[in-house]
Amino acid sequence: MMSKKRPLILAVNDDGITAPGIQAMVAAAQELAEVVVVAPDSPQSGMGHAITLNKPLRLDKVSYHGESIGYQCSGTPVDCVKIAIDKILDRKPDLVISGINHGANHSINVIYSGTMSAAMEGAIEGIPSVGFSLLNYALDADFTASKHFVKMIIKNMLHFGMPTGTLLNVNIPDLPLDQIKGVKICRQANAKWEEEFDERLDPHNRKYYWLTGAFANYDKGADTDVWALNNGYVSAVPVQFDLTAHHAMPRLNDWDLG
Amino acid sequence: MMSKKRPLILAVNDDGITAPGIQAMVAAAQELAEVVVVAPDSPQSGMGHAITLNKPLRLDKVSYHGESIGYQCSGTPVDCVKIAIDKILDRKPDLVISGINHGANHSINVIYSGTMSAAMEGAIEGIPSVGFSLLNYALDADFTASKHFVKMIIKNMLHFGMPTGTLLNVNIPDLPLDQIKGVKICRQANAKWEEEFDERLDPHNRKYYWLTGAFANYDKGADTDVWALNNGYVSAVPVQFDLTAHHAMPRLNDWDLG
């Protein structure tokens, strides 16, 4: 007797296997698929698309009261995706899901985010991939609404796939489910961090610096992820890893290049 | 008497301040501008767009035989750009130049590359920015031809600037100057790394894994950076940090999102 295989989903994040965000995401995904978790063994926020080249990686199974939870890897979120595909999974997963990040990854944050870079790595591997983030940094944030939208997006992604060369960046406002107006397909807002380094002196009188910054949105459009989130919507931005600025090529062909 | 100020260039890389690549790039840039070097104090290849959030940064002046060379920062290439702009430079630089990387950063490598991420950070700051890479990993590679093209590109960039929201990814073939056919404005080739982790046992019989991989180009186009480099040209790809896959938005609006 043949049975239709349940879909296989690889779940990753940048906050580690014990983060409430990934637990909520996995709980939602398990209603639809078999889920394998491979997460970093240390916090990897802001790691972007870093990979580990100068040292080897460790990979360990993790269980809780005898029940297998998944794997921990000593590398970056992107390393987790690579090693999961090469060494852990026995077939190509149907989806890669990353998150739920504790904190926003809208607008320019897609570039700095370990969560989104893990999803991007899944897309580079040709797997429909999505990163989820909740606009709440607290460890005890309420993921009830997030789980609802994680399940909705996964369902669609299993059914429709993703357009070639793209992944999805989903941000969820920090609101109860009945106050969220729906999901909006958006573009990345033109925004950035205005950095300021906080300069301090250590006990030996040597300077050190903490990166701090204020988020600045320069985009007045009502079709951006920042607008959607500010107006009570879940934002979903299709993201691509072909970074070519095709529109800029004609101007560069005017240059004096000998 | 007023004198026209010389342009100011911020030079960064991912290989550190002592790398021959950055020395060659700075020598070429100094013919056109005042150059300030801010480089990581440890190798940062493959760091992508990582930033340092969980620990503070150190910043030190470096000199050689009493002559100032620049600054070393304990962070990532992107951190170097951020701290240079906030704490070192007394005005916004006219350009950010990154490299010359020891090894290729064409095609998908733009996403993993610390060199290119530093240039992207410059562009996010609204500064015309470029990353240079030579297709030779050796520390004693010949940078003669590279210096020629670095100077040519910088000259154009100081004159024309860069289209808003873009930076430039320049790769230089490992050939003598008289065998390089010129500079081609290209798109990013559709290529990826086929990873394989090399599994080993440590002296305590625990497994560890080295990331290895083979580069695979799936793009038959003659307008890509990989094609240009294979055919004796310097490749120059305009890159953007708006990652929105605008073409994918209509298809996502077909999804069942409640």
Check whether B1 has a pLDDT greater than 70.
no
Please report residues of A whose CB lies closer than 8 A to that of B243.
110-111, 188, 239-241, 243
Counting other chains too, the contacts that A150-154 makes at CB distance below 8 Å and 24 or more residues apart are A150/A24, A150/A25, A150/A28, A150/A29, A150/A97, A150/A100, A151/A28, A151/A29, A151/A31, A151/A32, A152/A183, A152/B257, A152/B258, A153/A183, A153/A236, A154/A9, A154/A28, A154/A29, A154/A32, A154/A33, A154/A95, A154/A97, A154/A130
Closest partner CB to A244 (pick from B165, B192, B237)? B237
- What CATH code is assigned to A8-189+221-241? 3.40.1210.10
Cα-based torsion angle of the residue sequence A220, A222, A224, A230 in order, rounded to the nearest 10 degrees: 90
Q: β-strand A233-240 against A166-172: which pairing, if any?
A: antiparallel
What's the complex ipTM?
A: 0.94
* Contact indicator for A15, A118 with CB cutoff of 8 Å: no
The Cα–Cα gap between A35 and A17 comes to: 13
Please report residues of B whose CB lies closer than 8 A to that of A45.
53-54
| Residue from B49, B120, B202 whose CB has the most chain A CBs within 10 Å, to mutate | B49
Global pTM reads 0.95
Percent of chain B with pLDDT over 70: 98
Contact A207 B58 (CB under 8 A): yes
Mean pLDDT along residues A237-256: 97
pLDDT per residue over B90-112, tens digit each? 999 999 999 999 999 999 999 99
Closest partner CB to B209 (pick from A51, A87, A111)? A87
| Residue from B243, B247, B254 whose CB has the most chain A CBs within 10 Å, to mutate | B243
Check whether A173 has a pLDDT greater than 90.
yes
Check whether B239 has a pLDDT greater than 90.
yes
| Residue from A83, A252, A253, A254 whose CB has the most chain B CBs within 10 Å, to mutate | A252
Check whether A16 has a pLDDT greater than 50.
yes
pLDDT per residue over A214-237, tens digit each? 999 999 999 999 999 999 999 999
* Contact indicator for A7, A32 with CB cutoff of 8 Å: yes
Residues 6+ apart with CB under 8 A from A199: A207, A208, A209, B87
Mean pLDDT along residues B226-230: 98
The per-residue pLDDT for A181 is 98
The per-residue pLDDT for A3 is 55
pLDDT per residue over B123-162, tens digit each? 999 999 999 999 999 989 999 999 999 999 999 999 999 9
pLDDT band at B68 (very low <50, low <70, confident <90, very high): very high
Please report residues of A whose CB lies closer than 8 A to that of B150.
none
Please report residues of B whose CB lies closer than 8 A to that of A152.
257-258
The per-residue pLDDT for A238 is 98
Mean pLDDT along residues B215-241: 97
Does domain B8-190+222-252 fall under CATH 3.50.30.30? My reply is: no
The per-residue pLDDT for B226 is 98
Closest partner CB to A182 (pick from B152, B210, B258)? B258
The Cα–Cα gap between B43 and B8 comes to: 26
The per-residue pLDDT for B170 is 98
pLDDT band at A1 (very low <50, low <70, confident <90, very high): very low
pLDDT per residue over A132-156, tens digit each? 999 999 989 999 999 999 999 999 9
Contact A243 B111 (CB under 8 A): yes
Contact B49 A54 (CB under 8 A): no
Tell me the H-state helices in chain A: 20-30, 77-83, 109-112, 114-124, 144-160, 225-230, 249-252
Mean pLDDT along residues B63-68: 92
Tell whether A199 lies on the interface with B, counting CB pairs under 8 A.
yes
Chain A, residues 94-113, CB within 8 A of chain B, namely: 108, 110-112
| Residue from A49, A78, A125 whose CB has the most chain B CBs within 10 Å, to mutate | A49
Contact B187 A242 (CB under 8 A): yes
pLDDT per residue over B189-215, tens digit each? 999 999 899 999 999 999 999 999 899
Chain A, residues 56-85, CB within 8 A of chain B, namely: 56-59, 76, 78-79, 82-83, 85
Check whether B3 has a pLDDT greater than 70.
no
* Contact indicator for A4, A91 with CB cutoff of 8 Å: no
